[in-house]
């Protein structure tokens, strides 16, 4: 269990903020920090990593104090964490394999990670010559090289294309499956639905809400008329009905569809959802956003729940 | 035999200049790092004063630096006397004296590039190294120093070549003692004074050659804009 109860004053684009996050993160869970830019998400990650000192408060992990009364007492190198920052912070004077080897100090393990990440062809390349997606893979391999108990990710997918994003999601799910506790900052609701077990929403300097993605983003405050274009993040059978969860920006909706429609839809599909007098229309689109031929009308139950803007 | 001795004496000023440049560059390479770090990273009340003192040798006439050093190093005064007692050597009119003078004279040429290097460091990389379990020392040696390499090379080359050309400070502190403090630039001046223009030409050409090599090396290995990531 990672317990955080700190105070940190800082300046952001939103002005001076007194940030008072108080949260408990269960071991082996996948957690997401969600909030507006400048709300303190990155600051919180840096405090957990020991790279920023809180002004007051404590951070402890499994009963061991990391920060006590605002003072860092467990150095970053003693926390057994992996950290992937937004800009990846790769060592530009080192090659791909040197970056990974630097983290684990074990040639065989470095080779295995490079192989597993599909970086074998790039191993002798200096990291400042890689594309964004390649850098992200090196940063992730390097972070995992230490076999961390806690993995901190600061919007690691913000600069990635759709395909690389899918690969990254799979790798993150696999890390979570191995029992690594993950705390990830994101703005993307689709990512949250695809990966998170628990979401912490940061608003006005505090953890305003916490819960599962559905608890946070979906409620029954359904407007009669709405339309949104989004990404299918989940297709599931919920009892006798099939429910498709669609995320769009900072909103999400759950839509009841027929068995036939459910079979046509997959996570990652782009769809248009529209409702008029509780008669939802769900139109599948291609990844570029152009409408395809299929137009379906959910029968009967219509929209079960829709999102409100968070 | 006499000719050989004369040839050695002709070369001696260059040997002394090189010895002086190597000594000053080595001393400053070690001593300037903490100073550059203070100026680049730390905040303290007397920082502007320290900054001014480090920059001063760049703008002061070398003879002024030499004059004050000559006065300060005099064994009859407290500072010079104490130095002589500690190091058991005479500083005025000796190689030790011109080395000390050279260090003061060339200080900004080493400190400034190092300060620029420290200011341009990507601190996120050092932080990442700490997160990856590395100590501060290992992080400094394997992450910070390689990032600083172009700036260190610039500092070393600029200090070396600046000391090779030192004249005013060396003349004031060391005099013109053949085989001890008579460096190449003073020998060149002496050649002109004695109307030996062919000798002066040769000395000048060699000094130009050394400077050119240093400039080319600085371009090749030194810091370039946007080079350090």
pLDDT at position A214: 83
pLDDT at A308 over 60: no
Confidence of residue B27 (pLDDT cuts 50, 70, 90): very high
Cross-chain Cβ contact B127/A91 below 8 Å: no
Q: In this structure, are A67 and A199 located in the same domain?
A: yes
pLDDT at B60 over 90: yes
pLDDT at position A277: 55
Distance, in Å, from the CA atom of B190 to the CA atom of B175, rounded to the nearest integer, reads 12
Mean pLDDT, range B53-63, rounded to an integer: 94
pLDDT at position B2: 62
Q: In this structure, are A127 and A271 located in the same domain?
A: no
Q: In this structure, are A49 and A140 located in the same domain?
A: yes
CB-closest option in B124, B130, B135 to A85: B124
Contact A58, A3 (CB under 8 A): yes
Residue A156 contacts B, CB cutoff 8 Å: no
Which range marks the domain in which residue A291 is found? 218-307
pLDDT greater at residue A73 or residue B195: B195
What's the full length of chain B, in residues? Answer: 229
Average pLDDT, chain B: 90
Structural domains of chain B sorted by starting position, each given as residue range(s) with its CATH number in brackets: 14-221 (1.10.3720.10)
pLDDT at position B221: 77
Residues of B in contact with A98 (CB under 8 A): none
Among A156, A186, A211, the domain-final residue is: A211
| Test the A interface: residue of B126, B130, B133, B223 with most A CBs within 10 Å | B133
Burial A260-293 (b: 16+ CB within 10 A, else e): ebbeebebebbbbbebeeeebbbbbbeeeeeeee
Among A152, A185, A211, the domain-final residue is: A211
Among A211, A236, A270, the domain-final residue is: A211
pLDDT above 90 coverage of chain B, percent: 70
Q: In this structure, are A59 and A18 located in the same domain?
A: yes
Q: In this structure, are A200 and A248 located in the same domain?
A: no
Residues of B in contact with A91 (CB under 8 A): 125, 128-129, 143
Confidence of residue A305 (pLDDT cuts 50, 70, 90): very low
pLDDT at position A48: 94
State the DSSP H helix or E strand holding residue A234, giving kind and residue range, or none if neither: strand A226-238
* Tens-digit pLDDT profile for residues A211-263: 998 888 875 444 556 667 788 888 887 777 788 888 877 777 788 887 777 88
Residue A140 contacts B, CB cutoff 8 Å: no
Q: Which chain A residue has its CA at the smallest distance from B125's CA? A: A89
Residues of A in contact with B128 (CB under 8 A): 83, 85, 89, 91
Contact A271, A282 (CB under 8 A): yes
Q: How many domains does chain A have?
A: 2
pLDDT at position A218: 74
pLDDT at position A223: 52
pLDDT above 70 coverage of chain A, percent: 85
pLDDT at A198 over 90: yes
pLDDT at position A292: 30
Residues of B in contact with A140 (CB under 8 A): none
pLDDT greater at residue B225 or residue B118: B118
Q: Cα A142 vs. chain centroid, distance in angstroms?
A: 19
| Test the A interface: residue of B121, B123, B128, B227 with most A CBs within 10 Å | B128
pLDDT at A288 over 60: no
Distance, in Å, from the CA atom of A176 to the CA atom of A171, rounded to the nearest integer, reads 9
Residue B145 contacts A, CB cutoff 8 Å: no
Structure tokens at B29: 């390479």
Cross-chain Cβ contact B132/A51 below 8 Å: no
pLDDT at position B223: 63
Residues of B in contact with A78 (CB under 8 A): 133
Q: In this structure, are A65 and A179 located in the same domain?
A: yes
Q: In this structure, are A197 and A226 located in the same domain?
A: no
Q: In this structure, are A163 and A252 located in the same domain?
A: no
pLDDT at A162 over 80: no
CATH number at residue A46: 3.40.50.300
Q: In this structure, are A44 and A103 located in the same domain?
A: yes
Other Cβ atoms less than 10 A from the Cβ of A220: the count is: 9
pLDDT at position A285: 67
pLDDT at position A225: 61
* Tens-digit pLDDT profile for residues B94-134: 999 999 999 999 999 999 999 999 998 888 999 999 999 99
Distance, in Å, from the CA atom of A72 to the CA atom of A49, rounded to the nearest integer, reads 10
Window 16-55 of A, Cβ < 8 Å to B? 49-51
* Tens-digit pLDDT profile for residues A95-105: 999 999 999 98
pLDDT above 70 coverage of chain B, percent: 96
pLDDT greater at residue A303 or residue B171: B171
Residues of A in contact with B131 (CB under 8 A): 49-51, 76-77, 79, 81-83
> Residue A78 carries which DSSP code?
G
CATH number at residue A252: 2.40.50
pLDDT at position B18: 94
Q: In this structure, are A284 and A239 located in the same domain?
A: yes
Cross-chain Cβ contact B132/A102 below 8 Å: yes
Residues of A in contact with B122 (CB under 8 A): 89, 92
Q: In this structure, are A37 and A74 located in the same domain?
A: yes
pLDDT at position A297: 40
Distance, in Å, from the CA atom of A181 to the CA atom of A31, rounded to the nearest integer, reads 8
pLDDT greater at residue A79 or residue A204: A79
| Test the A interface: residue of B122, B126, B131, B223 with most A CBs within 10 Å | B131
Q: Which chain A residue has its CA at the smallest distance from B133's CA? A: A77
pLDDT at position A126: 92
Average pLDDT, chain A: 81
Mean pLDDT, range B13-34, rounded to an integer: 95
Q: In this structure, are A189 and A298 located in the same domain?
A: no
Confidence of residue A12 (pLDDT cuts 50, 70, 90): confident
pLDDT at B76 over 90: no
CA atoms within 13 A on the CB side of A179: 3
* Tens-digit pLDDT profile for residues A67-93: 888 788 899 989 999 999 988 999 999
């Amino acid at each position: 269990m990672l317990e955080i109860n700190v105070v940190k004053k800082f300046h952001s684009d939103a002005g001076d903020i007194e940030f008072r996050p108080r949260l408990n993160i269960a071991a082996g869970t996948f957690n997401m920090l969600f909030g507006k830019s400048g709300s303190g998400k990155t600051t919180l990650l840096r405090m957990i990593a020991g790279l920023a000192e809180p002004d007051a408060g404590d951070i402890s992990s499994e009963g061991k104090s990391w920060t006590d009364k605002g003072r860092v007492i467990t150095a970053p190198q003693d926390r057994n964490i992996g950290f992937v920052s937004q800009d990846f912070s790769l060592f530009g004077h080192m090659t791909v394999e040197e970056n990974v080897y630097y983290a684990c100090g074990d040639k065989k393990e470095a080779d295995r990670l490079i192989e597993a990440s599909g970086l074998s062809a790039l191993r002798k390349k200096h990291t400042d010559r890689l594309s964004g997606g390649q850098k992200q893979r090196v940063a992730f391999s390097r972070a995992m090289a230490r076999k961390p108990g806690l993995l901190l990710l600061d919007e690691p997918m913000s600069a990635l294309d759709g395909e690389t994003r899918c690969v990254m999601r799979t790798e993150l799910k696999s890390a979570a499956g191995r029992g690594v506790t993950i705390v990830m900052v994101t703005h993307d609701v689709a990512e949250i639905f695809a990966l998170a077990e628990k979401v912490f929403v940061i608003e006005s300097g505090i953890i305003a809400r916490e819960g599962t993605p559905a608890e946070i983003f979906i409620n029954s405050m359904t407007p009669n008329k709405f339309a949104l274009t989004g990404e299918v993040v989940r297709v599931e059978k919920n009892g006798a009905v099939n429910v498709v969860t669609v995320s769009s920006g900072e909103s999400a909706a759950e839509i009841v569809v027929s068995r036939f429609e459910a079979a046509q839809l997959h996570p990652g599909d782009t769809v248009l959802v529209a409702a008029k007098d509780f008669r939802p229309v769900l139109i599948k689109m291609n990844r570029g956003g152009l409408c395809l031929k299929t137009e379906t009308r959910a029968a009967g139950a219509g929209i079960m729940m829709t999102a409100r803007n968070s | 035999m006499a000719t050989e001795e004369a040839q050695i004496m002709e070369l001696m000023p260059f040997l002394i200049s090189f010895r002086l440049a190597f000594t000053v560059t080595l001393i400053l390479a070690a001593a300037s790092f903490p100073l550059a770090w203070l100026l680049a990273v730390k905040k303290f009340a007397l920082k502007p004063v320290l900054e001014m003192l480090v920059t001063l040798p760049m703008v002061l006439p070398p003879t002024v630096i030499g004059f004050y050093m000559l006065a300060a190093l005099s064994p009859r005064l407290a500072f010079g006397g104490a130095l002589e007692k500690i190091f058991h050597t005479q500083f005025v009119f000796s190689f030790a004296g011109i080395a000390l003078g050279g260090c003061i004279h060339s200080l900004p040429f080493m400190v400034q590039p190092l300060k620029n290097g420290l200011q341009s460091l990507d601190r996120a990389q050092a932080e990442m190294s700490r997160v990856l379990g590395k100590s501060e020392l290992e992080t400094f040696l394997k992450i910070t120093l390689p990032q600083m390499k172009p700036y260190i090379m610039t500092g070393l080359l600029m200090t070396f070549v600046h000391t090779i050309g030192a004249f005013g400070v060396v003349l004031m502190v060391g005099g013109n003692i053949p085989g001890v403090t008579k460096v190449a630039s003073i020998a060149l001046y002496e050649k002109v004074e004695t109307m030996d223009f062919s000798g002066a030409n040769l000395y000048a050409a060699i000094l130009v050659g050394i400077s050119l090599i240093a400039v080319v090396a600085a371009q090749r290995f030194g810091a370039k804009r946007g080079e350090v990531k």
